[in-house]
Structure 1
Amino acid sequence: MKNVKYSLKLFTVFGIPIELHVSFLILMLFIYAVAALNLFPGINLLLAVLITLVFVTVVIHELSHSYVAQRYGVKIERIVLLPIGGVSAMEEIPKDPGQEFRIAVAGPATNFVIAGVCYILVFLGASHLSGTLQDAIYYFALVNLILGGFNMLPAFPMDGGRVLRAYLAGRMSYVRATRLAANIGKQLAIIMAIVGVFYNIFLILIAVFIYIGAEQEYRTIMVSTLLEGITVGNVMTRDVQTVTPETPISEVLNLMFQKKHMGYPVVENGNLVGILTFHDVSGVVPDRRSEAVRLFMTRDIISTYPEEPVADALERLNKKQIGRLPVLSEGVLVGIISKTDILRAVEVMNLKIGE
């Protein structure tokens, strides 16, 4: 989510940029064009306005989550409006059950409040509002009730699933609570998909989203929890095989074959000057494999240090889409850490706690 591209900033609320994804802009232009040209009898201008208001409501829903999360110190990068709804780019939700509960219920509660206000408007203005406007407000209220109710289904990682995890986390470990909530979410997703086969294919798409989201959320939480308190120095490989800038590419390829490592720090006179990975050498044609590493190595070095939490190093690896980080202490190369090293540590910790 942090790398969502092709979005346009609309405005800022609570210090949070609200962005419109180009795909959503195209969708709305298409809907309004169809309504204006009367291409399909079922799509008129009123329906187009209602669809727009629904997505506005989704933004308000996400802002409610974000506002409460900010109160607990969670940084919100942005909210992006997509055709599938609003998505908040925020840091990890607090592991305090009470805080997670309040953040999770804020969105659906906002939907219910909007629905209530709309019904009051319809009731109080029944004799003053036109039939078309009454219908619009009524259906808008109904949509908010559906959105709020649907989001409260105990299907992790939806809001109701997070409420369920918050409840469970007060009675068991956070990892176990996440696993149980995720399993319930996946089971509901399977049921939803089966129902969708007979009634509505859209339910199948939602079910896929819930199933994948539940699994990814569980894995993310499990890794971050198991790695808590572990530093890069605890996990890194200390016996580092290095190459020099003048090492031929053919020699590095032999090293990769023998050592089974896909990246090597490039050291000159004791200083780290680059890193050479399989990606760097994979495009080198056979005729150039006698040439030196310095012609192909990556000079923009992304590194870590022994005292850094290994969870932060893993986040950087994922964000930069790289496989390993050289470990520097006072400018000196003291080790290297890869995703494989981190995943191995996760497996060991998982066995230790009996998860």
Structure 2
Amino acid sequence: MVKFTSHEVRDIFISMFVIAFIFAYLFSRNNVNVLITLFPVTFITVGVGFVLHELAHKFVAIRYGFQAEFKMWVQGLIFAIITAYFGFVFAAPGAVYIHGDYISREENGKISLAGPVTNIILALFFLTLMFVPTSSQLITMIATFGFAVNSFLAFFNLIPVSILDGAKVLKWNPVVWGITAVLALILTVKAMFGMSV
């Protein structure tokens, strides 16, 4: 059974709020009015992407019989704010901590893979939403930002460095890591340079 502690809910909400603000700040290009307009959009898109990414780790870990809880990294959030000031994001707001007797390389790899795969699925959903005829500017913005943010989150988390998911996935199965990393990169490039890529 999946359970959430009050501390976990608090940490998820604070992390989601800060990360959403950071992305709104980046996309606003220092325009306060644009930032205020974008924040609800990034809160929905980044919020969904961030929360479901972490919940995917948690659910897969629990499925394997482990205890799992998200914990916020205050230092990671502060560092993300600092990097955003210089025009880019290194986002490491926290992680799902897993407790159990023994976690195999395969289990650890699949638990780690669950987060980026969730972002890839969300990116494809928002990409599809971009082609749905609509007169709503809000839906268009949500689709555009949802695609961009989730593509980036998937690719970023697949970078094979020790604190990110990519290192554990690569250690478990280099082929699976390569396929998902390339797909995430393609989606990220499309989001950055337009649909003609």
TM-score (norm 1): 0.36
CA separation in 1, counterparts of 2:119 and 2:170? 19
In the alignment, does 2:39 pair up with 1:48? yes
Q: Does 1:106 align with 2:114?
A: yes
Counterpart pick for 1:115 among 123, 141, 146: 123
1:158 lines up with 2:146 in the alignment: no
Shift of 1:113: 0.5
Tell me, yes or no, if structure 1 residue 70 matches structure 2 residue 62: yes
Larger RCO: 1 or 2 (CA < 8 Å, sep 6+): 2
* Matching residue within 97, 104, 107 for 2:105: 97
Question: 1:48 deviation in Å?
Answer: 0.8
Alignment of 1:319-330 (within 5 A): none
Structure 2-normalised TM-score? 0.61
Tell me, in whole angstroms, the C-alpha distance in 2 between the residues paired with 1:145 and 1:85: 17
Amino acid at match of 1:163: V
The structure-2 alpha-carbon separation of the partners of 1:65 and 1:50, relative to structure 1 and needing over 3 Å to count, comes to same
1:67-216 mapped onto 2 (5 Å cutoff): 67-80=59-72, 83=77, 84-91=92-99, 94-123=102-131, 125-126=132-133, 128-167=134-173
- 1:17-76 alpha-carbon deviations (Å, 9 max, x no partner): 342249659859x99xx9xxxx8234122x111332213421210110111111111111
| Structure 1 unaligned regions, length at least 5 | 1-12, 169-355
Higher Rg of the two aligned structures? 1
Q: CA deviation at 1:157?
A: 2.4
> 2:195 — aligned with what?
none
> SS state of the match for residue 118, structure 1?
helix
Matches within 5 A, 1:222-233: none
Matched residues in 2 for 1:134 and 1:161: separation? 35
Contact 1:20 1:81 in 2 (8 A): no
1:127-157 C-alpha deviation (Å, 9 max, x unpaired): x242342122111111000000111111122
Per-residue Cα deviation, 1:69-119 (whole angstroms, up to 9, x for no partner):
111111114455964534323216954222122111100000000111111
Counterpart-to-counterpart distance in 2, 1:93 and 1:50: 41
> Are residues 1:61 and 2:65 paired?
no
Do the aligned partners of residues 107 and 40 (structure 1) sit closer, same or farther apart at CA in structure 2, a change above 3 Å counting? same
Question: 2: CA distance between counterparts of 1:148 and 1:132?
Answer: 24
The CA distance in 2 between the partners of 1:153 and 1:147, in whole Å, is 10
> Structure 2: any 5+ residue segments left out of the alignment?
26-30, 78-91, 175-197
Whether the aligned pair in 2 keeps the contact of 1:59 and 1:81 (CA below 8 Å) is: no
Judged with a 3 Å threshold, the aligned counterparts in structure 2 of structure 1 residues 92 and 153 are, in CA distance, closer, same or farther, namely farther
Q: 1:27 to 1:65 in 2, by over 3 A?
A: closer
Contact residue 16 and residue 50 of structure 2 kept, 8 A: no
Structure number with higher strand proportion: 1
What letter is aligned with 1:130? S
Length, aligned pairs only: 147
2: distance between equivalents of 1:68 and 1:61?
A: 11
Separation in structure 1 between the aligned mates of residue 50 and residue 102 of structure 2, nearest angstrom: 22
2:116 and 2:153 in contact (8 A); partners too:
yes
Q: Is the 8 A contact 1:19 1:81 kept in 2?
A: no
Q: Which residue of 1 is the match for residue 4 of structure 2?
A: 16
C-alpha contact (below 8 Å) 1:119/1:141 kept by paired residues: yes
